[in-house]
Structure 1
Amino acid sequence: MDNQLLLSLTEKYGSPLYVYNADKIISQYNRITEAFSSVKNLKLNYAVKANSNISVLKLFNKLSSGIDTVSIQEVQLGLEAGFYPENIIYTPNGVSLQEIEQVANLGVQINIDNISILEQFGHHYPNIPVCVRINPHIMAGGNHKISVGHIDSKFGISIHQVPHIKRVVENTKMHINGIHMHTGSDILDIDVFLAATEILFNTAKEFPQIDFIDFGSGFKVPYKEGDISTNIEELGEKLSKRFNTFCKEFGKDLTLMFEPGKFLVSEAGYFLTHVNVVKQTTSTVFASVDSGFNHLIRPMLYDSYHHIHNISNPNGRERYYSVVGYICETDTFGSNRRISEIREGDVLCFNNAGAYCYTMASNYNSRYRPAEVLLYNGNDYLIRKQETFNDLIKNQVIIDLD
């Protein structure tokens, strides 16, 4: 991304600022579709939780993507963005039967991840097809907080409980039309992922009426130069061959589904901040910016790495800085980072800010959430305004204490 373009956007829209490059989103989407081009029926369902801005969702709708949602609110955002209900899959965790009923009434594909709700839903709505989420008991992904397919995870129905699922189906006469799993984010080892797919293939054999198998996602993207990422082309070659063979054995052309989020939007995003203060201590030089974990919490929550560079002085002499925020707690974006000399007023750019960044932002310390901009077809579009004081108080009910 051109530094001058990013700087001009901060001048136009202020900072902090999130910027998303539609060209990168499109190219990542095309990478997956091309990697699995030998599969007859492929459907990508973009994971809305990664970046739920309606304009971003509209872009995926234009690409003929479906969407994966985890709440009724995300379903409603998808409908607002123009998605047909049949192109939305709803994969919640630990929600009430009442919410699932509300979503079912919208005509969305339901995905259930526990025996209790499956039995209740099947008893009341045996004619509404549902997918079941299986926990394969495979430890995959990066940080343990985003590994969700292991034996101690709250997600999914244990692979050992498949007989219970079949008993529920037999008792309620409900229709299971899909099998799903998600092992976790930041998949590094393709062979581990493929091992989990074998578990899902074996499970699928128990449900002859299914129409699709959803393998989740969690594909890793690079966060810095030389970083390891999921080789989507190699995965496409190996899994496509296995899936096509399975369909022949199964006697039916099933749909292969994925629900990528980070892979599609992470690298497309840039977070821009101004430097408020450069502070020298006895051992550390701090660069304090006009943001904090209220806007970008991933480094503090997951120890995630976001490459930080000084786009105001890209050719300056490199020094070591700890980049910190303005929140009244320790909110360190990066410690002892080698960055071109930082001066007060410079603009720093955080890479990989397209996924799980704005969607996890808050008003902590009563700070405003920032604006968002989408670069599309050579133009920049404001797709969310920066908040104002009225946004902070609009839902508060102020009572008279006299």
Structure 2
Amino acid sequence: MPQSLTHTQLVELADRFGTPLYVYHAEKIKEQYEKLTEGFSSLDSRFFFACKALTNINILKYIHSLGCGIDCSSINEVKLALHAGIPEEKILYTSNGISFAEIEEAVQSGVHINIDSLSNLEKFGKKYGNTYPVGVRLRPNILAGGNLKISTGHEKSKFGIPIDQLDLLKGIVAENSIRIKTLHIHTGSDIKDADVFVHGIKVLSELVSHFPDLEVIDLGGGFKVPYEPEDEETDIAFIADKLKKYLETHLFNKGRTFQLWFEPGKYLVSECGYLITQVNVLKDNGVQIFAGINSGLNHLIRPMMYDAYHHIVNLSNPHAEEKVYTVTGYICETDTFATDRLLHEVREGDYLVLYNAGAYGFEMSSNYNSRYKPAEVLVKEGDAFLIRRRDEFEDLLKNQITVV
């Protein structure tokens, strides 16, 4: 199974569809999903793609075709999943800081729901009582992940109900006869340490006895994918083995078993994605050489927002002598993709590709500076399909109302 698209394929796609261009490789998504299912094959597990990473409905349909469910962070993501044909029993809605109206709409849709605040749980109980099984998202006080901005389980995080508020939680559940089906935690992203997941399940296992209707232990996502050349991917089989050993010796031996749920996002789609750009201009200021490309933080904000690394290759001149460049965007703001990066000699007009662009690339894009959003292409079984057209000028105006 091919793990990546070749340079020649990427150049052909750039020539055919123009740049900047997002390209997604379906077989890479399948490869990642099979790592999860094979790695956790010894445990009763279900996976829900955290679609906030990439919500193009063609991606949702393809991931569902592999057998994966869809995890949603907003009611509109729930609507997109339903629109894509995913049945409600394969959709999970994990809310954060939202109005209760969104939860009501999720109930009407019939999807699985995790609630992350005592306030909304109490409102839920008063309206639905024990008629609709629900999950609660807990804050485990675990600091994990590659960047504090994507670490969600620590004691200062806004996410989840703090575990030290267990008595308040139990009181709301008892008063309203709420059926707690799922205990959920999510500690962060870019996690490769198996002990983080084991620690998480230890925290939850201590709470199991308080919830007699419990069926699911949900450990969220956060599996790491390699961005920099020396990075290592999360060893899924190793994590599964450690979790299984803990569960068999500390929890499942007490007469109760639970299904494990996970919500991988970046792990499924990061490596499938490429952002192909073209060099607009070279500027040598005597200290460094800038390669200014026809994209910017409006298309890929991760380097500016998270200091994220994306591997960059010159597709047009791959065998030339290497030089040091700073790759910048065309946004009227500090807009840097890479600083002092060693690349094969770059010329104006060359195609540069940024790797690992499938997760939180197009999904976090904008029309900042009134720039157009790029097109999206899906490559599946060797064929390329346009799955989103490039913006045109009319797209900048479509929701504006002229009153003066």
Any idea what SS the aligned residue of 2:120 has?
helix
Q: Structure 2 CA distance, aligned partners of 1:249 and 1:168?
A: 29
Matched, 1:134 2:134: no
* Counterpart position of 2:149: 145
Which whole-Å deviations, capped at 9, do the CAs of 1:56-80 have from their partners, x for residues lacking one? 0001110111111010100001001
- CA drift of 1:285 comes to 0.2
Identity %: 50
The correspondence of residues 18-57 of structure 1 with structure 2, limited to 5 A, is 18-39=22-43, 41-57=44-60
1:392 pairs with one of 380, 393, 396: 396
Which whole-Å deviations, capped at 9, do the CAs of 1:32-57 have from their partners, x for residues lacking one? 11111101x21000001011110000
- CA drift of 1:228 comes to 2.9
Q: Structure 2 CA distance, aligned partners of 1:270 and 1:218?
A: 21
Q: Structure 2 CA distance, aligned partners of 1:240 and 1:258?
A: 15
- CA drift of 1:237 comes to 1.3
Gaps of 5+ in 1: none
Any idea what SS the aligned residue of 1:205 has?
helix
* 1:131 and 1:180 in contact (8 A); partners too: yes
* Counterpart position of 2:327: 323
* Counterpart position of 2:261: 257
The correspondence of residues 234-253 of structure 1 with structure 2, limited to 5 A, is 234-245=238-249, 248-253=252-257
* 1:140 and 1:193 in contact (8 A); partners too: no
1:72 pairs with one of 55, 72, 75: 75
Q: Structure 1 CA distance, aligned partners of 2:106 and 2:359?
A: 25
Any idea what SS the aligned residue of 1:105 has?
helix
* Counterpart position of 1:58: 61
Relative distance call for 1:59 and 1:244 in structure 2 (3 A) is farther
* Counterpart position of 2:121: 118
Q: Structure 1 CA distance, aligned partners of 2:210 and 2:249?
A: 17
Q: Structure 1 CA distance, aligned partners of 2:135 and 2:248?
A: 21
- CA drift of 1:122 comes to 0.6
Give the TM-score normalised by the residue count of structure 1: 0.97
- Residue identity matched to 2:81: G
Gaps of 5+ in 2: none
Q: Structure 2 CA distance, aligned partners of 1:178 and 1:14?
A: 46
- CA drift of 1:244 comes to 4.3
Any idea what SS the aligned residue of 2:38 has?
helix
Matched, 1:171 2:188: no
1:287 pairs with one of 287, 291, 297: 291
The correspondence of residues 80-229 of structure 1 with structure 2, limited to 5 A, is 80-126=83-129, 127-229=131-233
Any idea what SS the aligned residue of 1:343 has?
coil
2:380 pairs with one of 373, 376, 386: 376
Q: Structure 2 CA distance, aligned partners of 1:30 and 1:358?
A: 24
2:7 pairs with one of 3, 8, 22: 3
* 1:25 and 1:264 in contact (8 A); partners too: yes
Which whole-Å deviations, capped at 9, do the CAs of 1:163-205 have from their partners, x for residues lacking one? 1111111100111101000000011322233212210121223
Q: Structure 2 CA distance, aligned partners of 1:318 and 1:114?
A: 53
* 1:205 and 1:250 in contact (8 A); partners too: no
Q: Structure 2 CA distance, aligned partners of 1:63 and 1:144?
A: 32
- CA drift of 1:295 comes to 0.1
Any idea what SS the aligned residue of 1:312 has?
coil
Which whole-Å deviations, capped at 9, do the CAs of 1:276-310 have from their partners, x for residues lacking one? 00111110100000000000000000000000110
- CA drift of 1:161 comes to 1.0
Which whole-Å deviations, capped at 9, do the CAs of 1:140-162 have from their partners, x for residues lacking one? 00110100000000000011111
- Residue identity matched to 1:306: H
* Counterpart position of 1:361: 365
The correspondence of residues 286-365 of structure 1 with structure 2, limited to 5 A, is 286-365=290-369
Q: Structure 2 CA distance, aligned partners of 1:243 and 1:63?
A: 27
Q: Structure 2 CA distance, aligned partners of 1:196 and 1:253?
A: 17
Give the TM-score normalised by the residue count of structure 2: 0.97
Deviates more, 1:293-302 or 1:252-261: 252-261
Which whole-Å deviations, capped at 9, do the CAs of 1:312-357 have from their partners, x for residues lacking one? 1111100000000000001000000000000000000000001011
Runs of 4+ aligned residues of structure 1 deviating over 2 Å after TM superposition are 240-253
Any idea what SS the aligned residue of 1:239 has?
helix
- CA drift of 1:224 comes to 2.2
**CA RMSD of the aligned region, Å?**
1.1
